[in-house]
Amino acid sequence: MITLKSEKQLEGIRASAKILAGLHNQLTLYVKEGLTTGQIDAFCYNYITDNNAVPAFLGYMDYPATACISVNEEVIHGIPGKRVLKEGDIVSIDLGVNLNGYFSDAAQTLIIGSADPEIEKLVSVTKECLAAGIQAAGTGKRISDISRAVFSIADKNGYGVVREYCGHGVGLALHEEPQISNYVSSGSNPRIRPGMVLAIEPMINLGTKNILHMPDGWTVITADRKPSAHWEHSIAVHKDHIEVLTAF
């Protein structure tokens, strides 16, 4: 079932998303060469709890950290730890905030210093995929219009679009219906209505679309070990516009 949010619920989700946007904004300044992913995770935990909110991923299906931090060939769900960031790395930081039971979810991919131009392009095109997906999420359109918008930009650039993971409804829980794949698939294809809150999240690979799971039970990597980028926003659909709740 897809829940349409009331104005009161939207206010709660908006407040949650504001904290998350503030954290992502701080991360753009904080994340630097020489930091470990564990240090970044601690920064995120402190920011969220200082704002009287709860890290939504921590403990979710026994996930052991605040952030998912995925470096280079890691696609998503990288567990923060001792890995030290170095010049030329790309690092995807995915975070969820639970404020009084209202959930928001957003990710960005940061470049440490400067990276290979081909990799920098992957990061910016993935961000473009997200923007196109958001643009396609207007009232009256269908979920597949989001999928098509994301996929066409990635595909045009020759990138691999991850099939096994997708975007989702969000707001009263971390993951709600509908699923929002980043490619057009058959199956249910709901119409987009005012009151929907959606997390759109392209996961785009420089090479093959295929992925592998690491023995830690969480980390997803590209099958060819080439880099991958991930951007995500939580949005609210209104009658005549789209509100990017986690914009920063």
DSSP classification of residue 206 = S
Residue placing its CB nearer to Co ion in the complex, 71 or 107: 107
Q: Considering only the stretches 1-9, 16-24, 116-124, 199-207, report the one whose residues sit in contact with Co ion under the rule CB under 5 A.
A: 199-207
Residue placing its CB nearer to ligand MF3 in the complex, 73 or 94: 94
Of the candidate residues 105, 112, 204, 229, the single one contacting Co ion (CB under 5 A): 105
Q: Which residues would be at the binding site for ligand MF3 (CB under 6 A)?
A: 57, 60-61, 63, 68, 77, 94, 105, 168, 201, 232
Write the CA distances from 33 to 84, 87, 88, 224, integer angstroms: 8, 6, 9, 25
DSSP classification of residue 82 = S
Residue placing its CB nearer to Co ion in the complex, 192 or 199: 199
Of the candidate residues 134, 199, 206, 211, the single one contacting Co ion (CB under 5 A): 199
Residue placing its CB nearer to ligand MF3 in the complex, 139 or 185: 185
Distance CA 215, CA 218 (A): 8
User: Does 203 contact Co ion by CB under 5 A?
Assistant: no
The torsion angle over the Cα atoms of residues 144, 146, 147 and 153, rounded to 10 degrees, is 140
61: partner contacted, choices Co ion, ligand MF3, none (Cβ within 5-8 A by kind): ligand MF3
Provide the minimum distance between the beta carbon of 201 and Co ion in the complex, in angstroms, as a whole number: 5
Distance CA 49, CA 104 (A): 15
Provide the minimum distance between the beta carbon of 171 and Co ion in the complex, in angstroms, as a whole number: 12
24: partner contacted, choices Co ion, ligand MF3, none (Cβ within 5-8 A by kind): none
Distance CA 172, CA 105 (A): 12
Owner of token pair 């769900």? 77
Handedness of CA 225, 231, 234, 238 (dihedral sign): negative
Name the residues that contact Co ion, by CB under 5 A.
Answer: 105, 199, 201
